[in-house]
Amino acid sequence: MSKIVFITGASKGFGKLWAEALLKRGDKVAATARNITALQDLKDRYGDRILPLKLDVNNRTEVFEVTKQVEQHFGRIDVLINNAGFGVFGTTEETTEQQAREQMETNFFGSLWVAQAVLPIMRKQKNGHIIQISSFLGLTTLPLLGLYNASKFAVEGLIETIGSETAHLGIKTTLIEPNGFATDWSGASAVQTSSDIEEYNPVREAFAETGDNPDTWGNPEATVEPVLNLIDNQNPPQRLLFGKIAYHVMNEVYTKRLNDIQNWKEVSIAAHGH
């Protein structure tokens, strides 16, 4: 049976790639973007199976109106892929208030508004799957991405909580946590802070060297089958890392965290007081 999939941020990158893969196999897709002209090629190719809708996830009222349109058009929403987001690059000290607020507004609050709009529909259906695009930087951090890291840490807590609140209603949640991929996430979609404080130059140089290594960046096309498999799985994981960098980094991070927990066990227990 074909699925009805609602994807935000579908005009490029992962969103458009996955939308086309779903359409190609016969699913129906509600694809939203700030600029839906970028979806015209999919509309020309797949006709009524795709519903392109203009959406700014920062506008809560618009989110609820568009979500209602999706339900009225297709009759249900089986899967939400909450994908809209961007990255602010630069040191935390050099990040402006506006940049910080806009980062949290889109990555966190935008994800919250879409989830809140979809949940009543999935509750009524007594089934559904919310797939949130997070990042392995929602589990650990990299320098020069402080506000992005923070937004994804917040998203991790949000979706994990929704999962615990809705499991008995037949609603599943999954956090996809990619490492860097060769989309335009770090290019045209990115926002750059100023870089005037010279003391941070060594950090910037080290970061640039890492980014220059082509092995750092995953191949977006390689994510298609994993996403389709995730959507079709009856028991999807709560979290799913995408990319070998994410896998190896998180193995090291969690090993160190567990060691720290055990090494400080007596202090932790003593701090309880009784």
Active site residues: 134, 148, 152
**Amino acid identity, position 271:** A
Number of other CB atoms surrounding residue 119 within 10 Å: 19
Q: How far apart are CA 123 and CA 120, in angstroms?
A: 5
Collect all residues with Cβ–Cβ distance below 8 Å to 231 and sequence separation of at least 6: 3, 5, 22, 79, 129, 131
Burial of 115 (0-12, 13-18, 19+ CB in 10 A): buried
Burial of 113 (0-12, 13-18, 19+ CB in 10 A): buried
**Amino acid identity, position 223:** T
Query: Pairing mode, if any, of strands 4-7 and 79-82?
Result: parallel
221 token code pair: 């096309």
Contact call for residues 148 and 131 (beta carbons, < 8 A): no
